[in-house]
Amino acid sequence: MSDVLKEKDEDSSEATKRELHETSLYQDVKPTQWPIIYSPEYNIGFLGLEKLHPFDAGKWGKVYGFLKEAKMIRDDTTVRATEATEKDLLVVHTKGYLNTLKWSFHVAQITEVPPVAFLPNFIVQRKVLRPFRYQTGGTILAGKLAQERGWAINIGGGFHHCSANQGGGFCAYADITLSIKFMFDRLQSISKVLIIDLDAHQGNGHERDFMDDDRVYIMDVYNRGIYPYDGYAKRAIKRKVELSHGTDDEVYLELVDRHTKEALEEFQPDAVVYNAGTDILEGDPLGNLSITAQGIIERDRLVFSHVRSRNIPILMVTSGGYQRSTARIIADSILNLKQLGLIPCEDAENAPKPQITVMDLINGFILALSEFICHFQ
């Protein structure tokens, strides 16, 4: 028996020993639904406190709204994320770490919003952590959809600074690690995963989680002069590309193109997790790089072209991006991928509009109002 098959058998028996818990996250999806995942619950908003962090806490709703305006998607042709439960989170996180999130002071440190420390924890759970749990559920589901459809996009997630027992950098749950662990445990065809992390910051969370796991190959392209400066986590990176302040389109796109191709050829994964942060955009207050909007769109095209041409499932998460313009760029990039035929879903494109009931109108109004509020936050 080959080493790869032995490893897979060992992993399967290990998962069996754990007695896989029942989860609602791996839901069945209609053929007429795009493998694009979102929920209005993704967006964070409470008395304006979210504005104390440079992150646009309503970015996800804006991306979804732009895609609807472009008539690519409708509410009935996209997938609604469900909230990750404690049992889901315990697949990766320790009970001790999850208990620390019951202390508002600790959540304030993770989110880098000091006033959160003074809020009752039930409010922090509902207004801050619950949106993160919904996004985490979306990333986990994206793994299943990518395997079934060839690709999936979670309009959220990418909390790459969180590991099994430590959060930070606005990342409270390790959604990337969780998605991969779910794939290993529940999808027989997935035994090797490549992480392509193109956020401006080093993805130290998933790097710490997969430090000694040969089933996961990490390619990380990041600005070496910014947070998190995690030298220990760098040991897990198989293909490390460190950038300098002010790196521009020409240099950046050549590096992404070459290293993505070489990583795929070297590792030959069963699936790819693409962390598509937009904090590389010129003018970003935390990324300190000089990539244009068109450069980001081209970057996403390069990654999807290389992966899809090899018939490898790919799931994308949106990760960081600290300017109001990033939502428009993410939406434009997704529309570009569709136009180029890199993310097809013919059944969804041709899906007839459903007959509208009174309840549909009420639900639609509530959803539209939620997205309207997010758009102007």
As annotated, the active-site residues are 161
Q: How many helices (H) and strands (E) does the chain have?
A: 14, 8
Instruction: Check: CB of residue 172 under 8 Å from CB of residue 129.
Output: yes
Burial string for 41-65 (b: 16+ CB within 10 Å, else e) reads bbbbbeeebbeebebbbbbbbbbbb
> Which tokens belong to 77?
């042709």
**CA pair distance 100, 12, nearest whole angstrom:** 31
**CA pair distance 136, 90, nearest whole angstrom:** 13
**CA pair distance 288, 146, nearest whole angstrom:** 32
Give the CB-side neighbour count of residue 169, counting CA atoms within 13 A.
26
Instruction: Check: CB of residue 270 under 8 Å from CB of residue 193.
Output: yes
**CA pair distance 69, 375, nearest whole angstrom:** 13
Residue 89 backbone dihedrals phi, psi, to 5 degrees: -65, -30
| Residue 279, helix vs strand vs coil | coil
3-class DSSP string for 99-136? HHCCCHHHHHHHHCCHHHHHCCHHHHHHHHHHHHHHHH
Q: How far is CA 236 from CA 37, 58, 139, 231, 346, in A?
A: 29, 32, 22, 10, 39
Q: Outline where the chain has alpha helix (H).
A: 3-17, 59-69, 86-89, 95-100, 104-111, 121-124, 130-149, 175-186, 204-209, 249-267, 293-308, 326-339, 346-349, 358-375
> Which tokens belong to 165?
């027992």
**CA pair distance 245, 284, nearest whole angstrom:** 11
